[in-house]
Amino acid sequence: MPDRRKLSEHQIKTALKKLKGWSLRGGKLHKEFTFGDFIGAFGFMTSAALVAQTLNHHPEWSNVYNRVVIDLSTHSEGGVTGYDIEFARKLEKIRGR
């Protein structure tokens, strides 16, 4: 199970090296996903919602047509934790389908 403690900036930067396209923005993991159309974006969000529920860790996100913007942080810890890193990894696996 991922660690819910807030990660150091060094730990986050190390993890980001393995998360293509993710960055640290405003103290949160950030990425914008682009799809072929609205259905692709919505399908991704549906799959991501199921993962979020199993982790009991829910993203800040928005969707406009074929674009999904996601920001991840653990509010109770005031920053990025292992849960955010794990969720980002799982989102990458969903996107890779």
The domain 9-95 is classified under which CATH number: 3.60.10.10, 3.30.1360.20, 3.40.50.2300, 3.30.499.10?
3.30.1360.20
Taking 70 as the pLDDT cut, the residues of the chain under it are 1-2, 97
| pLDDT reported for residue 32 | 98
Give the CB-side neighbour count of residue 4, counting CA atoms within 13 A.
8
| pLDDT reported for residue 1 | 62
Strand pairing of 23-25 and 67-72? unpaired
For residues 18 and 31, what is the distance between their CA atoms, to the nearest angstrom?
14
Local structure of 49: helix, strand or coil: helix
Residue 27: what are its φ and ψ, rounded to 5°?
Answer: 75, 15
| pLDDT reported for residue 4 | 80
Q: How far apart are the first and last CA of the chain?
A: 24
Tokens (6 digits) for 24: 């640290």
CA angle 25, 28, 87 (to 5 degrees): 130
Q: Which sign does the torsion angle of CA 5, 50, 95, 44 carry? A: negative
